[in-house]
Amino acid sequence: MHVLHVTSELHPFSKTGGLADMVGALAKALAHSGTQISVLTPLYRVARQRATDLRSLNWRFEIRIGARNYEGAFWEQRGLAGERILFVQQDELYDRPGIYEENKQPYPDNDLRFVFLSRAAALLARHLNPAPSVVHCHDWQTGLVPLLIHHEREAGVWPFAPRTVLTIHNLAYLGYFPASTWALTGLPLDYFHPEACEFWAGVSLLKTGLVFADALTTVSPHYAVEITTPEYGCGLEGILMRRRSDLRGILNGVDYSEWNTISNPYLSAGYDASNFSGKAACKAVVQGEYGLPQRADVPLFGTVGRLDPQKGVDFMVGALEQVLQEDIQFVQLGTGVAWLENACRALAHRHPGKVGVRIGFDPALAHRIEAGLDFFLMPSRFEPCGLNQLYSLRYGTPPIVRDTGGLHDSVVDPRDDPGGATGIKFQDPSSSALAHAMRKALAVWAEPELLAHFRRNGMAADFSWNRFTTQYVELYGSLLGRG
């Protein structure tokens, strides 16, 4: 079985969020488990800098979009587990400083950029040797691919066309564009109606994929149920409800060869569940990097991630305002919307010596923070899977999470299982509910044996990919009529 993944970001070549980590790690794990894997992704400027061993496939092609022909070319590099990483080059569209945006402004031609990626993917799938039997797409940027393949299969021009899977990493990004975008797809207008690709008089590339992919997945079982409801369905709950027998939630795994506390080039000291002294050293390092007093006796809270209302950052700042009355410290790393960046800066300004803020993107610092914190905050309004709570569990840092999506599925609250507790869950997306949860964490902090119990449980929890890859392999097999 040969599976071609198509993704708009891929660790370690390009990353703005969890999508890159997830596809990079899944492709590697599937390749390890013996599935033949190729991954197609754009040759962004940053990818070209990071790809160390690019080889040309000597494969140039042209795609007619609107009134123009766009030339492209394919390049390749081998991944760590033997997976084939294929890059599509189109310098006008991808050789830019950003992946989706510059100076917080999305590129105005993002519809063209990702329609081009999708059309290049369909072309690659049709002519690649060996041919893929499944094409696995991720998020709105590749949502057109299932329809492109479906269309050619139905037209009889591609009789052995592959089966398609679409994974929803975040339903809130609809890939929504004006109706005029339809002309870029090269497809007939027959598909442009509300039962197919039209959404509120425009085009939703995500909806297109939800309608036409042979199978749908999302990144946790709980989110798979949530998105069939109006509260979480972003207006697509109707189609998801209709397709619920084709939709399954498979939790994301972690690549523990990168995310571990024993041999990790980013950490100044290693540690495991039998001895936390290295973790104490990591805490002092983080306090030092943020210019906070290097005290072992003060609980250090923190978070890493996009500053976005999805992540609950607005009410997190409110909760911190309350709990910072106590003797605690807080550090943050991430970029995002301007008003939340400003809210974080203002918080640091009001609490000198207690709060450290770093508006930026720094993978090495992210590892150090996961290791150095005492508690990791993840108060998301919704969270398809969430990876940082999985990283923090492995780093012995109990997460404090809102009880939603993948956070529901991966964190154990003491009220549900005192013996197996790994973190603290709360329900309401409000400052008071999060502040209450943080005070519970302070009660845990006050009892070192209890804290060690949380840490040990979290570090022992297994979210390695080999637990989850079999579910994808079974899904692919079922699409091919085997299993």
Tell the residue number behind the tokens 């956070």, with chain if given: 407
Q: Which of 314, 383, 409, 413 binds ligand GLC (CB under 6 A)?
A: 383
What character string, x for contact with ligand GLC (CB under 6 A) and - otherwise, covers 170-189?
x-------------------
* Nearer residue to ligand GLC within complex by CB, 28 or 119: 28
Tell me which residue has tokens 């939340």. Answer: 340
Q: What angle do CA 14, 369, 404 make, to 5 degrees?
A: 75
SS (H, E, C) 374-422: CEEEECCCCCCCCCHHHHHHHCCCCEEEECCHHHHHHCCCCCCCHHHCC
Per-residue mark of binding to ligand GLC, 235-254 (x: CB under 6 A): -----------------x--
- The verdict on 393 binding ligand GLC (CB under 6 A) reads no
Burial of 353 (0-12, 13-18, 19+ CB in 10 A): exposed
Q: Which stretch binds ligand GLC (CB under 6 A): 100-108, 148-156, 377-385, 456-464?
A: 377-385
CA 426 from chain center: how many Å?
Answer: 22
Q: How far is the CB of 288 from ligand GLC (least distance, A)?
A: 30
Burial of 404 (0-12, 13-18, 19+ CB in 10 A): buried
Asked whether position 312 contacts ligand GLC by CB under 6 A, the answer is no
Please identify which residue in the block is written with the tokens 């496939």: 57
Nearer Cβ to ligand GLC, position 23 or 123? Answer: 23
Kindly identify the residues of this chain, within the stretch 194-223, that bind ligand GLC according to CB under 6 A. 219
Q: Which is nearer to ligand GLC, 384 or 458 (CB)?
A: 384
Q: By CB under 6 A, is residue 22 in contact with ligand GLC? A: yes
Residue 386 makes contact with ligand GLC by CB under 6 A? yes
The answer to whether 215 and 165 have CB atoms below 8 angstroms apart is yes
Beta bridge partners of 10: 14
Region binding ligand GLC by CB under 6 A among candidate stretches 14-22, 69-77, 95-103, 119-127: 14-22
- 186 or 309: whose CB is closer to ligand GLC? 309
Q: Is the dihedral of CA 90, 96, 98, 104 positive or negative?
A: negative
CA distance linking residue 105 with residue 97, whole number of Å = 12
12, 17, 202, 318: which one contacts ligand GLC (CB under 6 A)? 17
The token pair that represents 306 in the structure block: 């996009």
Residue nearer to ligand GLC on the CB measure, 69 or 466 = 466
- 41 part of the interface to ligand GLC, by CB under 6 A: no
Q: Which of residues 137-176 bind ligand GLC (CB under 6 A)?
A: 169-170
Binding piece for ligand GLC, criterion CB under 6 A, among 15-23, 52-60, 124-132, 393-401: 15-23
CA 441 to each of CA 300, 406, 433, 435: distance values in angstroms, whole numbers, following the listed order: 11, 21, 13, 10
28 contacts ligand GLC (rule: CB under 6 A) = no
Q: Which position has the token pair 């060690």?
A: 452
Region binding ligand GLC by CB under 6 A among candidate stretches 11-19, 57-65, 340-348, 433-441: 11-19
Q: Which is nearer to ligand GLC, 70 or 223 (CB)?
A: 223
Report if residue 19 touches ligand GLC, rule: CB under 6 A: yes
What are the backbone dihedrals phi and psi of residue 31, each rounded to the nearest 5 degrees, phi first? -65, -40
- Tell me if 371 contacts ligand GLC by CB under 6 A: no
Using CB under 6 A, which of 209, 249, 336, 384 touches ligand GLC? 384
Nearer to ligand GLC, 22 or 30 (CB): 22
Minimum CB–partner distance for residue 248 and ligand GLC (Å): 14
Closest CB to ligand GLC: residue number:
18
Choose the stretch contacting ligand GLC; rule: CB under 6 A; options: 122-130, 181-189, 382-390, 459-467.
382-390
**Angle value at C-alpha 46, between 49 and 339, nearest 5 degrees:** 150
Q: What angle in degrees, to the nearest 10, is found between the helix axes of 145-154 and 110-127?
A: 50
Residue window 464-483: x/- pattern of binding to ligand GLC, with contact defined by CB under 6 A: --------------------
Q: What is the DSSP string of 272-338?
A: BTTB-HHHHHHHHHHHHHTT----SSS-EEEEES-BSGGGTHHHHHHHHHHHTTSS-EEEEE--B-H
CB atoms within 10 A of CB 466: 11
Residue 234 neighbours by CB distance under 10 Å: 19
Nearer to ligand GLC, 383 or 409 (CB): 383
Comparison of 181 and 303: residue with beta carbon closer to ligand GLC:
303
Binding site for ligand GLC (CB under 6 A): 17-19, 22, 169-170, 219, 252, 383-387, 406
